[in-house]
Amino acid sequence: MKTAFVTGATAGIGEATVRALVASGWRCIATGRRQERLEALVAELGADKVHPAVFDVRDSAAMDAAIAALPAEFAGVDLLVNNAGLAKGLSPAQEADLADWQVMIDTNVTAMVVLTRKLLPTLVARKGAIIAIGSVAGSYIYPGGNVYAGSKAFANHFTLALRADLHGTGVRVTSIEPGMVETEFTLVRTGSQEASDKLYSGADPMTGEDIANTIRWIAELPLHLNINRLELMPVSQDFAGFRVARD
């Protein structure tokens, strides 16, 4: 039985990924800050299938402690799913809250880099896989995206750089870059359930389960096959939209 390490597993894509992988016969280390949600996953799926690791990915010492405390049957990580991430605020750069920018950098960039480096020796030894959740925001810029878009451009390209560095190791590396997915993303970004409902209303967006099933498909492909990057959008969304400011 293979083991996956899934960050941001208390909601959305991460939670759906744990369910999808366990249903397919994997063990999962599910990480996040909200202990009660992780405990609910364990109660639902079984302690033999899910190990809860409660920590904030921005806390490197807590991350070290969680990795060191992994039970023997969960310690051999075969798949890292770099899913934890967030957006804060929609203000233009000249009006943005610098604290929001720092939270996004610490979560979306620094924490991902730190965790990946800590698990790389195990992943190389086991010829495992890394799947990172980037975003179309890393390729297609929109007003108010500023640091979130920059952090996701980093995630997209850091993952591709890992692919280059891991050449010859047998480790597979994939950057998944979704568009609109209905999760708690917009609620976290705006603090408003109304804003979240308005954004997704009538749009028929993708779901956490859609992305989780894509992750499972990639993770279970033949070992000689690598998906380098995969961009997904709901049919209702596209990447057009150049603007012109006129006098």
Would you name the residues annotated as active-site residues? 148
Q: Give me 146's structure tokens.
A: 């500023």
For the record, the structure tokens of 217 come out as 């498909």
Cα 217–chain centre separation: 16
Question: In whole angstroms, what is the distance from residue 148 CA to residue 111 CA?
Answer: 14
Angle formed by the axes of helices 111-125 and 60-68, to 10°?
Answer: 30
Which residue pairs from 201-206 have beta carbons closer than 8 angstroms and sit at least 24 positions apart in sequence?
A: 203/234, 203/236, 203/237, 204/234, 204/235, 204/236, 205/180, 205/181, 205/234, 205/236, 205/237, 206/178, 206/179, 206/180, 206/181, 206/182, 206/232, 206/233, 206/234
134/69 Cα distance (integer angstroms): 28
Query: How far is the C-alpha of 105 from the C-alpha of 128, rounded, in Å?
Result: 27
List all residues 6 or more positions away from 47 whose beta carbon is below 8 Å from its beta carbon: none
Could you tell me the two tokens for 204? 């028929």
